[in-house]
Each structure stands twice: as structure tokens, then as C-alpha cells.
Chain A
Amino acid sequence: MNVLAYLPYAVSFWIFAMGCYGLVRCRNLIAAVLALAVAQSSTYVLLLSIGFHKQAGAPIFSPTNPVGSPAVDPIVQALTLTDIVVGATVSALILALSIQIHRRTSCIDPERLSPMSE
């Protein structure tokens, strides 16, 4: 069994756990957005490691790298790209909401905000 083969999974899990830890402990909404982005980057690591092949180049074929030569999986790269776009949307939304909440209450500490009180 090759321990190194499991390394990307461990790294991915670690990044996700750190992102969640950041969300649990953060006292600032901007930090929460960053923690969410950290948690999301774990999905990039996992996706790219799944498409990885040893000694394979980028999936771009040219005369020096002819069709049929080994290449990493382009589909997971496309998935990662889509995932980044999704993440950017959600980050933008939460940041916009944070600005608005700061305007209303001049406070961006999630511990002091609640949907139950005004």
C-alpha cells in the first residue's frame, strides 16, 4: 500500500477541517467568508488529485505533445473551475450582506447578531 497515494485525501480533509474550525471560532464576518473559502479549497485539492496521473502532461495536445500521449484528466479541471465560480458567487453574496449588516448595526461580529432579535 502506498501511503503517499492517500496524502491528497488527508490534505483535503485537513483543509476542510481547518475551514470549519475557522467558521466556528471566527468573530468577524469577513473572516467567516475567508474560512468558507478555505473550506472550499479542500474540494479543489481533492478534485485535482483525482484527475492526476504520474508523468502526464497538461491535456493540451500539440506537435510536441501529440494526441494519445498521457495527460491529466481535463474533466476534473473543468469541475474545479465551475466550483470556483460557484464559490465566488457565494462569497460575493455574503460580503455584500456583511457590508449591509455593518451599515445597519456597525458591527460584524457574528456572535452578536441573531436572526431572532432586531
Chain B
Amino acid sequence: MSTTFVRLVPAFSVAVPLMAAAVLAPFTRCCTRAVSSVVTTVACGLVLGMTLFLLFYSSAHGTIVHWMGGWEPSHGTAIGISFAVDPMGAGLAAFVALLVLCATVYTWIAVDLVGTLLHVLLLAFLGAMCGYALTGDLFNMFVWFELMTAAAIALTSHKIEEASSISGAINLAVTNSLGGFLVLFGIALLYGKTDALNLAQIGEALAKQPIDAALTASFALIVCGYFVKGAVAPFHFWLDDAHAVAPTPVCLLFSGIMVQLALYGVARIYFGAFAASFAPHVCAIGGLFLGVGIATALLGALMAYAQRHLKRLLAFSTVSHSGMFVAAIGLFQPGAIAATALFIAAHGLVKSALFVCAGTYLNRFRSLDECVLGGRGREAPANSAMFLIGGVALAACPPFAISVAKAAFDRAMDARGLAAVSLLMALVSAIDAGAVLRSGLHITFGIGNAQDTGISPREEEPETIGDHLESTPWTMLAVPAALLALALWLGVDERIWHGIERAGAVFVDRHSYVGAVLGGHSLPLPDASGPKQTAVSLTLNLSATALAIAIALAGLFRHRIPRQLKVASRPFAFLRNLHSGKFADYVAYLMVGVAAYGCWLVVALPR
């Protein structure tokens, strides 16, 4: 196969969804649901096919580099904008395409499309996320990032008739815009130091320079900016507001991949640009990542447990998983990166399935409130069963893929002597999954007393056309079933983990990246064959699952627990008050967070 053709595929996997969106956009009022569904589904399918091809091709032959408009580097200096596709980037893009395809299938039947605007926005979102995952240019990455934000704002305010929905979208818009400005500050400082925007070129230039204040500042700004979208404390506040009001297919994409893409950006820029300078001080940076990771994981899990609004509960569980991803990335080591990649995929599949099940409850019973739904899950048995299976899978129960990722995570932590962190993270995922299982059990079987939080139960508008659904359409059952089956397959198939391990080794190798982008010669991937699961990790995962079930039952029968054993609810009230829903507060927290991150890095890194 000619390599010219292969090098065009990355460009087309971005162009196809954007062109499809442009074709659909003028006809949002007159285009029928069927036509729009077919166009969107075909476009998503094409992108999925192309990105899977990129994944397999780059796994076999090394990084694929495409220079837009044929502006190839001259004398080792990048002039044009490049797409540099390594297996990790291609895999993420394929995962994006898969989730957008699932979201599209979900919208085939009954979901209110607002003309066909929902499909147009989904396609633009897909194009932005693919471009972001594939690009090798820092400013190009920023532009895709901002396009993602713009599409996300519009998608969140989908239910334009509800003030709460718009206010969630405004919170997202304000905080994520500020995050974008921080990233741009960081990119500008990097450009000032290196006169380059190409990631490989920046890495080459920085390797020859000592660390100075501008470099530290640009790293701090880029990390803070991406952590806003990555929902890391104290920048995560927009996330639960947006999830609570966004339609289900949008929640699926936010929690499933958008948040994680921001963390991918941090890792990509670290290994591409900063690794050369910061490698001797990796412990200082890792300490920051580990600290905020643990804080975010605990905060997210506690807040998830304190919720009874299903989408908010799942959103906080995403926050706590973001914390785990950040802690793992903070090891800056290929095994940990591979573990994070598998964790992101597995979590994305399971969380998306859970969101779809929650959306079905909303469309059937006009509520997302655990108390209102109590016992009604029996009327939708397949949906309830999948919700409970999703909860168990979230607790890292083998053989679901999260358990394999957790095992790799534990190995990476152990190698650094951080076994305590693995235990803590097992506890966090048990609390998370415990919250999901508690609401699942209460909704399905009506057992136990739901929590009394003093909020009156309320009804919500379903996302479908008409009042509410009498029965669940097959699309709303097929999507979570397929997602859970995939999560199972990723956990069972041996080749997956080995492939990801090799991709992780390439991802952290700056020299092979530079060689592929600027030198034009790609190296094939190294071999890797670590153990998949050990007896220790299996035991840990099974006990985390058991603990999750225990926590769920404790939540259901909390009125029977002796008063002395109850965890004080005061911290919950404090945490709850922090999440005020006002963007003014969120901006203040954001400034405090930037100052704190900046201080840590300035103190910990040499000046």
C-alpha cells in the first residue's frame, strides 16, 4: 500500500466529520431524522474505520506523519503543521469515534434532536476530538481544544428551554474558556523560548536549554489549563453541573472521553516537550500529580456517595477517576502510561453504559432522583440489570477491563514503593462503585431507605419527543449492552494489554517521536510482555468489589447502623456547599488552584 495514501488518512479522519457537519448544518429544519441519522452514523463509522486502520498501521510500522499541504520540514526545521499519529493517539481517536458512534445510535429512536442540530454538533465534536488526539503541533492542539469547548457548550445547553440547563452550560463556558487562556499563556511562553510550535521541534530546542522561570511557568500554566477540562481538583466544579443538565449522549462523551483527552494532552506535551528538561526532577512533578490525584479521587468519591441525582453521582465518579488517572500519569513511566490508557478505555466504556442506563430511567420515568425512582427499576428489568453490572464492573471486578488496568496500575505504584496508594485507590473505587450500586439496588428492588438530604424530589423533562416512553427502544438497550461487552472483551483478550504496553513504550520515547516527525524515519514498536494479572491484584480487585457491595448496603440500611459507627455528615455539608453552582465561586477556586500549583512547581523545580 502506498505510504502517500496512509499519510492522508489522518487528515481525512478529521475532515470527514467536519464536512458531514457542514453538509447537515444548513438543513437542520427540513432534513428528516432518518437522513440525518444515516449521514451521522456513516460519518462516525468511516472515522472509526480510518482511525482503527491508523491504529493497526502505526502499531505495525511506527508513527505516521502527515504534513498539512505538503509543507515538509526543511533542514530539520518544521515549517508546516503536522499530524503525528502514534498508536496511543490513534487508539484514543478510535475510542472517540466509537463513543460518538454509540451516542449517535442512542439518538436514532425517540430522542429529541432539535431539528438535526444534535447530530451536527456531535459531528463537530467528533472532528475536534480526533484532531486533538492526532495532531503533533501545539497551537493546532489548542485550536482543536477550543473547538471541543465550543461544541461542548452548545451540546450542554441542548435543552434550551430550561434555565438550569443554560446555567450549567454557562458555568462550563466560563471555566473552560479560562482554562483555554491558561493553556495559551503556556504555549506562548514556550514559543518565546523555542521559536517553535511543533511538539518535536520544541522538545529538541528545550533539550539544549537549562530550566528557567519561563519554562516552569509555562508548564504550570499548561497543566492548570488542561486540568480545568480534565476535572482535577480544584478545577473540576463545572463538571457535575454540566453533566446534570446535558442530554445523555453528551454526558456519555464528556465522561467517557473528553475529560480524559485533556489529561492525554498533559502527558503528550510532557513527553514531547518537557521531558528533556524535567526528567531529573520527575519526582517533584510526580509528587504534585500524586497529591492532587489522591485529593481529587477522594473528593470525587465522597461527593458521588453523597448524591442521589444519578447523573451527578456518575459525574462525581468521573471526577474521582480523573484523580486516579492523574496519579498514574504522575509516575511518568511507560508501564503507568499504558495502565492509564487501558484504564481510560475501560472506564469510558463502563461509565458510558451507566450514563445510557440512567438516561433510560429519565426517559421512562421522568426522573433521575434515586428516591423517586426507588423500586420502579423492575418495570425496565434489562436496563436495571445492566446498571447493576456496570456498577460491579466499575468496582474493578474481574474479568472486566478495569480490573486489568487496576492490576497494571498497582504494579506501577508498587515499583515506586507506593503500595499504599494502590490500597487507597482501591478504597476510592469501592466508594464510587458503592454509590452506583446503592442507587442501582434501591431503584431495582426498592430496598432500604434512600438518603434524606432535605431536598424535595423533583421531576425532570425527558430527552425524548413526547411525554415519556412506555417501553425502552432497542437502541437504548443495545448501546449499553455493546459497551459492557466491549469492556469485558478488553479485559479478557491477552493481546489488548500487550498492544497497549507497547504503545505506552513508544509514547514516552521522545527520540523516536522526534525521529519520525523531523527525520522522517519511523521505528517499529518494541516488544513488551508483562504479566497481565497477579494473584495479589486479583485479590485486591475482588476485595474492592466486595467492599463496594458492603458500602452500597451500608448506604441502603444506614438507619440500622448504630449511631457511633456513622461517618460524620458535617464534611459532606462542607463539600456540598463548595459546589455552589455559581461560576463566580468556580473562578475564585480556579485562581487559588493556579496559585497553589504554581507555588508548588516554583518551589520544587530549580530556578
Tell whether B150 is near chain A: CB-to-CB under 8 Å. yes
Asked whether A76 lies within 8 Å of B191 as measured between CB atoms, the reply is yes
**Distance in Å from the Cβ of A10 to the closest Cβ of chain B?**
13
Q: Which residue of B lies closest to A113 (CB)?
A: B167
Contacts of A75 in B (CB 8 A): 191, 197
Tell whether B204 is near chain A: CB-to-CB under 8 Å. no
Bound-state Cα–Cα, A39 to B173, Å: 14
Bound-state Cα–Cα, A4 to B256, Å: 47
User: Interface-forming stretch among B336-344, B500-508, B576-584?
Assistant: B576-584
Asked whether B584 lies within 8 Å of A97 as measured between CB atoms, the reply is no
User: Interface-forming stretch among B89-97, B176-184, B419-427?
Assistant: B176-184
Q: Which residue of B lies closest to A12 (CB)?
A: B185
Asked whether B241 lies within 8 Å of A115 as measured between CB atoms, the reply is yes
A93: contacting residue among B154, B180, B583, CB under 8 A? B154
Tell whether B270 is near chain A: CB-to-CB under 8 Å. no
Contacts of A100 in B (CB 8 A): 157, 160, 166
**Distance in Å from the Cβ of A17 to the closest Cβ of chain B?**
8
Asked whether A101 lies within 8 Å of B166 as measured between CB atoms, the reply is yes
Q: Which residue of A lies closest to B171 (CB)?
A: A115
Contacts of B200 in A (CB 8 A): none
Tell whether A77 is near chain B: CB-to-CB under 8 Å. no
Bound-state Cα–Cα, A30 to B581, Å: 18
Tell whether A104 is near chain B: CB-to-CB under 8 Å. yes
Bound-state Cα–Cα, A29 to B174, Å: 11
**Chain B interface size range:** 35 or more
Bound-state Cα–Cα, A23 to B192, Å: 29
Residues facing A in B453-493 (CB within 8 A) are 458
Q: Residue-by-residue, is A21-59 near B (CB-CB < 8 Å gives 1, otherwise 0)?
A: 001111001001000100110110011001000000000
B584: contacting residue among A23, A117, A118, CB under 8 A? A23
Tell whether A90 is near chain B: CB-to-CB under 8 Å. yes
Residues facing B in A94-118 (CB within 8 A) are 94, 97-98, 100-101, 104-105, 110-111, 113-118
Among A29, A75, A98, A113, chain B packs the most CB atoms within 10 A around the CB of A113
Bound-state Cα–Cα, A87 to B176, Å: 12
Q: Which residue of A lies closest to B242 (CB)?
A: A115
Asked whether B164 lies within 8 Å of A118 as measured between CB atoms, the reply is yes
Tell whether B143 is near chain A: CB-to-CB under 8 Å. yes
Asked whether B584 lies within 8 Å of A114 as measured between CB atoms, the reply is no
B244: contacting residue among A97, A98, A115, CB under 8 A? A115
Asked whether A76 lies within 8 Å of B188 as measured between CB atoms, the reply is yes
Tell whether B40 is near chain A: CB-to-CB under 8 Å. no
Q: Residue-by-residue, is B351-385 near A (CB-CB < 8 Å gives 1, otherwise 0)?
A: 00000000000000000000000000000000000
**Distance in Å from the Cβ of B61 to the closest Cβ of chain A?**
32
Tell whether A65 is near chain B: CB-to-CB under 8 Å. no
Bound-state Cα–Cα, A117 to B458, Å: 10
Asked whether A115 lies within 8 Å of B143 as measured between CB atoms, the reply is no
Contacts of B191 in A (CB 8 A): 50, 75-76, 79
Asked whether B583 lies within 8 Å of A32 as measured between CB atoms, the reply is yes
Asked whether A114 lies within 8 Å of B167 as measured between CB atoms, the reply is yes
Asked whether A110 lies within 8 Å of B188 as measured between CB atoms, the reply is no
**Distance in Å from the Cβ of B141 to the closest Cβ of chain A?**
12
Asked whether A90 lies within 8 Å of B185 as measured between CB atoms, the reply is no
Q: Which residue of A lies closest to B583 (CB)?
A: A110
Tell whether A86 is near chain B: CB-to-CB under 8 Å. yes
Bound-state Cα–Cα, A55 to B180, Å: 32
A20: contacting residue among B157, B167, B244, B587, CB under 8 A? B587
Asked whether A101 lies within 8 Å of B153 as measured between CB atoms, the reply is no
Asked whether B168 lies within 8 Å of A115 as measured between CB atoms, the reply is yes
Q: Which residue of A lies closest to B588 (CB)?
A: A24
Bound-state Cα–Cα, A12 to B221, Å: 14
Bound-state Cα–Cα, A43 to B185, Å: 6
Contacts of A98 in B (CB 8 A): 170
Tell whether B161 is near chain A: CB-to-CB under 8 Å. yes
Would A104 and B167 be within 8 Å (CB), given that A36-B174, A40-B181, A115-B241 are in contact? no
Would A101 and B167 be within 8 Å (CB), given that A36-B177, A94-B173 are in contact? yes
Tell whether B528 is near chain A: CB-to-CB under 8 Å. no
Bound-state Cα–Cα, A60 to B154, Å: 39
Bound-state Cα–Cα, A89 to B191, Å: 25
Q: Which residue of B lies closest to A36 (CB)?
A: B177
Asked whether B164 lies within 8 Å of A116 as measured between CB atoms, the reply is yes
Would A26 and B244 be within 8 Å (CB), given that A40-B177, A43-B181, A93-B173 are in contact? no
Tell whether B23 is near chain A: CB-to-CB under 8 Å. no
Asked whether A114 lies within 8 Å of B582 as measured between CB atoms, the reply is yes
Would A26 and B581 be within 8 Å (CB), given that A36-B174, A90-B149 are in contact? no
Asked whether A23 lies within 8 Å of B174 as measured between CB atoms, the reply is yes
Tell whether B316 is near chain A: CB-to-CB under 8 Å. no
Asked whether B139 lies within 8 Å of A89 as measured between CB atoms, the reply is no
Among B143, B149, B170, B582, chain A packs the most CB atoms within 10 A around the CB of B170
Tell whether B251 is near chain A: CB-to-CB under 8 Å. no
Tell whether B509 is near chain A: CB-to-CB under 8 Å. no
Asked whether A117 lies within 8 Å of B587 as measured between CB atoms, the reply is no
Among B166, B171, B458, B584, chain A packs the most CB atoms within 10 A around the CB of B166
Q: Which residues of A does B touch, CB under 8 Å?
A: 12, 16, 20, 23-26, 29, 32, 36, 39-40, 42-43, 46-47, 50, 75-76, 79, 82-83, 86-87, 89-90, 93-94, 97-98, 100-101, 104-105, 110-111, 113-118
Q: List 12 A-B contacts (CB under 8 A).
A: A20-B178, A23-B587, A24-B588, A29-B170, A43-B188, A50-B191, A76-B191, A86-B180, A89-B146, A90-B146, A93-B173, A94-B153
Q: Which residues of B does A touch, CB under 8 Å?
A: 139, 143, 146, 149-150, 153-154, 157, 160-171, 173-174, 177-178, 180-181, 184-185, 188-189, 191-192, 197, 241-242, 244-245, 458, 580-584, 587-588, 590-591
Q: Which 9 A-B pairs have the closest CB atoms?
A: A115-B168, A114-B581, A50-B192, A115-B241, A113-B167, A86-B146, A23-B587, A104-B163, A115-B167
User: Can you add 14 more A-B contacts, CB < 8 Å, to A12-B185, A43-B184, A94-B174?
Assistant: A24-B587, A43-B181, A79-B191, A82-B143, A90-B177, A97-B153, A101-B163, A101-B166, A101-B167, A111-B584, A113-B170, A115-B167, A117-B164, A118-B164
